[in-house]
Amino acid sequence: MFGLGVQELVIILAIAMLFFGGKKIPEIAKGLGKGIREFKTASEKATDDVTDAIEGDGDEESKKVESKTS
């Protein structure tokens, strides 16, 4: 995974448990999950926008230019 073994992960989790406490860790994990989900959604949307722009051959861009000049 990131060059970390099982022992290192257990030590990190134990330190986090001592530092934050048992009640705060689920809240942190929930917030982290929401952040990852939002990032994934935003990156998929950006990929779709780029794909649409490439496949659309710039039709939207010409429409924008025409509407601004009209």
**Cα 58 to Cα 30: distance, rounded to the nearest angstrom:** 40
Query: By residue range, what is the domain housing residue 49?
Result: 22-69
**Lookup: tokens for 11:** 């030590």
The pTM of this model reads: 0.52
Name the residue with tokens 């998929």: 44
Give the integer Cα–Cα distance in Å for 27 and 33.
10
Compute the distance between CA of residue 50 and CA of residue 54 in angstroms, rounded to an integer. 6
pLDDT value at residue 65? 52
Residue 46: band (very low, low, confident or very high) from pLDDT cuts 50, 70, 90: very high
Domain assignment present for 32: yes
Quote the number of domains for the chain: 1
Confidence of residue 13 (pLDDT cuts 50, 70, 90): confident
Residue 3's pLDDT is 78
Judge whether 24 and 32 are in contact, CB under 8 Å: no
In this model, does residue 64 exceed pLDDT 70? no
